[in-house]
Amino acid sequence: MRAWLYLIAAAVAGAIVTTPALIVLILLGGSFDDALVAGLATLMIAAGIAVVSMRDIIRCGLAMIVCFLSLAGLYVSLGAPMVAAAQVIVYIGAISVLILFAIMLTQEKVGSARLTFQTQAAPAAIAAIVIAVLVSVAAFGTSWGEVSEHIRSATVYVAHALFQNYVLVLEAVGVLLLAAVIGGVFLAKREKGA
Amino acid sequence: MTVVARTWDRLTLPGKALFILIPLLGVLTLGLVITIALFGQQILDILIFNLPIVRFVFSVTILMLIFVPMAFVIIYMEMKIIALMNLRIGPDRVGPWGTLLSTVHGLKVLMKEDFTPGKADAVVFTWAPVVVFSTAVLSALVLPFAPGLYGQDMNIGLLYFFAVGGMTVVGLLMGGWSSFNKYSLIGGLRSAAQIVSYEIPLTLSVVGLVILAGTMSLNEIVIQQSRTGWFTDWFMFRQPLGFLIFAIAATAEANRTPFDLTEADSEIVAGFATEYSGMRFGFFFFAEYINVFIISAITVVLFMGGWNAPFPSPHISWIVDPGSLGLWLVILIAIVPVVGTLALAAPFYLFRSKTRWWVALILGFVLFNVIAGGIFSLWAYINFDWVAGLFWFVGKAFALVFLFVWMRGTLPRVRIDQLMGFAWKWLLPAALLNLFVTAAAVLVIDAMKAAPK
């Protein structure tokens, strides 16, 4: 019985995710790229909702990975594979795995592997609205046709930008990260010694 | 109860499934044929219009189809070679020299009960092997098997490989956590710690190579290693330290002995796979052996010249073009097998009086096929670049697979603290040293070239 429920739930979820893609595919005349973007965007939004609404924290983490993965897919379909690879390496390979690792190490499966997130709904709503406004201002304030001509996603151009134009900022970020690492080690050590 | 219902009840469960599936398959095939017949041109246009995505789907499918028999071969190699090293006989029952044993293993795994522990998280438990297997297949997408024979040629191929390969750990964590078992959880946590730690020296050890090659496209890296055609061009000889670090870290990434702490059976049963059975375990098992091939292949691509032969190939042009023979070709095809079989059978029949005539004929036929196959392979090797490339690539990769099996037969397992200490205290500084020395050398050489004489 349970297996059937899972199957039905999977079918419904699959239908929800693929429907926009199919609609786009039919409306925009058979371009798989558009359908891919629509499907990935739907998947990302669905996974994002799952992250904040599910009660099991490990599943939230896994849904976050799905969210990051579909974002990487969006980057690829928008012609920025370099950003997508960085997204996968940093956010999935390092950060999400670290989060999952920490949760599994500290939480007990039998006990409360559940946290209540919804205690800060009002500040979260304000933050979400502010971010939405900022993003829309940025999106509508840019003339995309002009920008897309200057996009150079090859690694050479990224390297030139990083190590010539923005080298000072890069070094500053490096020092910041180093300080964070040292601070983390200091905190961990002090707790052990005390 | 009608006759139909009684007959239906007598069917076993697989019988019922087949009874539904086979007509369904027939209807689907018929629909496909009709669709292609009616709208073939439109479908082809749409597919060509969306070539990148179609190519992606197609190459992933092909890779998945190739990798299952390849995993069979590697599993058999491992069983047989370790057995020979242990002075045992090893598999010898199914097929000639036991070669079909891994196929039987695969069927056995399919028929076993697919069990989910009572308090396990069933959804995550089911998806974990899927993640592990699909990351293994997806990471092979950028491997250049031969000139022109690759899934995708990305200019960030190396980065893509590390990104997708690093996602394996998510699957292992999922499997370890969702099994609701302490050993599984420990195995999953160990794998996460190990893979995250070893990913850093693994990636850093290749940066020196990327500086030398000036590109991250795996195709370009292979082409860079074929300047003179001799094996001295391989990056193995220009980046020996990087090669060593990469080989060690890749072994740890694939969870192979001596770094297979995630499934150390003397400590934690089978690690993350403890609670798995049936085909879900089978996917973990396949993924492990596919990963062995993939790390061998990526080592070959990066450090051992990819599909380049170790020596410059002599230009041979005396091979007759079969197309120019005309009618003679048909006559040759008709006559040569018969004459060859008879000619090869004759010595057996004439000089060993015990041999029956039909045994001699069978022997002659087999011998003829071996010789003809050899000649045909030689012809293909000389005439087609990709055959030669595939030959060398697969040969080198399987030599490395043999090395991994050898290591498993020889080396003892390390301890978990030794494993982590080795990654952070030895491999990481060594990789950094390799990077700095390479960068400095490149700068010095560039300066010397630019300096006025």
Task: Select the residue of B53, B169, B176 nearest A32 (Cβ to Cβ).
Answer: B53
Using alpha carbons, select from A74, A63, A72 the residue that is nearest to residue A13: A63
Chain B environment of A61 (Cβ under 8 Å) = none
- Is the residue at A121 inside a domain? no
Chain B environment of A79 (Cβ under 8 Å) = none
Are B267 and B370 in the same domain? no
Shortest distance, CA B135 to any CA of chain A (angstroms):
12
- Is the residue at B276 inside a domain? yes
- Is the residue at A112 inside a domain? no
For A144-155, the DSSP string reads HHHHHHT---SH
Per-residue 3-state assignment (H helix, E strand, C coil) for chain B: CCHHHHHHHHCCHHHHHHHHHHHHHHHHHHHHHHHHHHHHHHHHHHHHHCHHHHHHHHHHHHHHHHHHHHHHHHHHHHHHHHHHHCCCCCCCCCCHHHCCHHHHHHHHHHHCCCCCCCCCCHHHHHHHHHHHHHHHHHHHHHCEEECCEECCCCCCHHHHHHHHHHCHHHHHHHHHHHCCCHHHHHHHHHHHHHHHHHHHHHHHHHHHHHHHHCCCCHHHHHHHCCCCCCHHHCHHHHCHHHHHHHHHHHHHHCCCCCCCHHHCHHHHCCHHHCCCCHHHHHHHHHHHHHHHHHHHHHHHHHHCCCCCCCCCCCCCCCCCCHHHHCHHHHHHHHHHHHHHHHHHHHHHHHHCCCCCHHHHHHHHHHHHHHHHHHHHHHHHHHHCHHHHHHHHHHHHHHHHHHHHHHHHHHCCCCCHHHHHHHHHHHHHHHHHHHHHHHHHHHHHHHHHHHCCC
pLDDT, tens only, B76-111:
888 888 898 888 888 888 878 888 888 888 888 878
Chain B environment of A32 (Cβ under 8 Å) = 50, 53-54
* DSSP structural state of residue A107: S
Measured CA to CA, the distance from residue B267 to residue B187 in angstroms comes to 10
pLDDT at A110: 47
- Is the residue at B125 inside a domain? yes
- Is the residue at A124 inside a domain? no
Are B286 and B327 in the same domain? no
- Is the residue at A183 inside a domain? yes
Domain residue limits at A61: 2-106+146-189
Helix (H) or strand (E) segment spanning residue A62: helix A57-77
Amino acid sitting at position A30:
G
Are B225 and B343 in the same domain? no
pLDDT at B309: 78
Q: Could A93 and B154 be called an inter-chain contact, meaning their C-beta atoms sit closer than 8 Å?
A: no
Q: Could A88 and B166 be called an inter-chain contact, meaning their C-beta atoms sit closer than 8 Å?
A: yes
pTM of the model: 0.81
Are B219 and B346 in the same domain? no
Q: Could B53 and A33 be called an inter-chain contact, meaning their C-beta atoms sit closer than 8 Å?
A: yes
- Is the residue at B2 inside a domain? no
Determine the average pLDDT of the residues in A24-33. Answer: 73
Q: Does B85 touch chain A (CB under 8 A)?
A: no
pLDDT at A157: 76
Are B223 and B275 in the same domain? yes
Q: Could B54 and A65 be called an inter-chain contact, meaning their C-beta atoms sit closer than 8 Å?
A: no
Q: Could A155 and B166 be called an inter-chain contact, meaning their C-beta atoms sit closer than 8 Å?
A: no
Residue B377 CA: distances (Å) to CA of A74, B83, B129, B388: 44, 31, 38, 10
pLDDT at B38: 82
- Is the residue at B49 inside a domain? no
* Residues, chain A: 194
pLDDT above 80: residue A187: yes
Tell me the two tokens of residue A61: 């983490």
Domain residue limits at B341: 322-383
Q: What are phi and psi of B226, to 5 degrees?
A: -125, 35
Amino acid sitting at position A136:
S
Are B352 and B216 in the same domain? no
Query: Residue ranges of chain B with pLDDT lower than 70?
Result: 1, 262, 264-265, 314-325, 353, 453
pLDDT, tens only, A38-54:
888 888 888 888 887 77
Measured CA to CA, the distance from residue B102 to residue B239 in angstroms comes to 37
pLDDT at A133: 94
- Is the residue at A115 inside a domain? no
Are B263 and B338 in the same domain? no
Check: CB of residue B275 under 8 Å from CB of residue B184: yes
Q: Residue A177's domain is classified under what CATH number?
A: 1.20.120
- Is the residue at B145 inside a domain? yes
Reported confidence tier of residue A111, pLDDT bands at 50, 70, 90? very low
pLDDT at B325: 66
Task: Select the residue of A6, A30, A88 nearest B123 (Cβ to Cβ).
Answer: A6
Measured CA to CA, the distance from residue B177 to residue B170 in angstroms comes to 11
Which of B383, B400, B435 delimits the end of a domain?
Answer: B383
**In terms of CA atoms, which chain B residue is nearest residue A31?**
B50
Cis amide leading into B452 (omega within 30): no
pLDDT at A108: 60
Q: At what angle do helices B157-166 and B278-303 cross, to 10 degrees?
A: 150
- Is the residue at A55 inside a domain? yes
pLDDT above 60: residue A109: no
Shortest distance, CA A125 to any CA of chain B (angstroms):
30
Are B331 and B287 in the same domain? no
Q: Does B156 touch chain A (CB under 8 A)?
A: yes
Give how many domains chain B has, as a whole number. 2
**In terms of CA atoms, which chain A residue is nearest residue B154?**
A81
Determine the average pLDDT of the residues in A129-134. Answer: 93
Are B243 and B377 in the same domain? no
Measured CA to CA, the distance from residue A168 to residue A161 in angstroms comes to 11
**Interface with chain B: mutation pick from A5, A97, A114, highest number of B CBs within 10 Å:** A97
- Is the residue at A130 inside a domain? no
Are B374 and B444 in the same domain? no
Cα of B219 vs its chain's centroid, Å: 18
- Is the residue at B101 inside a domain? no
Tell me the two tokens of residue B125: 């438990």
Check: CB of residue B409 under 8 Å from CB of residue B346: no
Are B307 and B326 in the same domain? no
Give the whole-number percent of chain A exceeding pLDDT 70. Answer: 82
Grouping H, G, I as helix, E, B as strand and the rest as coil, residue A80 is coil
Are B148 and B285 in the same domain? yes
Check: CB of residue B16 under 8 Å from CB of residue B8: yes
Amino acid sitting at position B352:
R
Measured CA to CA, the distance from residue B345 to residue B383 in angstroms comes to 31
Q: Does B113 touch chain A (CB under 8 A)?
A: no
Q: Does A56 touch chain B (CB under 8 A)?
A: yes
pLDDT at B320: 62
Q: What are phi and psi of B334, to 5 degrees?
A: -75, -40
Q: What is the ipTM of this complex?
A: 0.78
Check: CB of residue B186 under 8 Å from CB of residue B249: no
Backbone CA torsion sign across B224, B227, B230, B235: negative
Give how many domains chain A has, as a whole number. 1
Amino acid sitting at position B237:
F
pLDDT at B9: 78
pLDDT at A113: 47
Measured CA to CA, the distance from residue B119 to residue B353 in angstroms comes to 72
Determine the average pLDDT of the residues in A17-44. Answer: 78
* Residues, chain B: 453
| Per-window interface: A 13-42 vs B, CB < 8 A | 30-33, 36
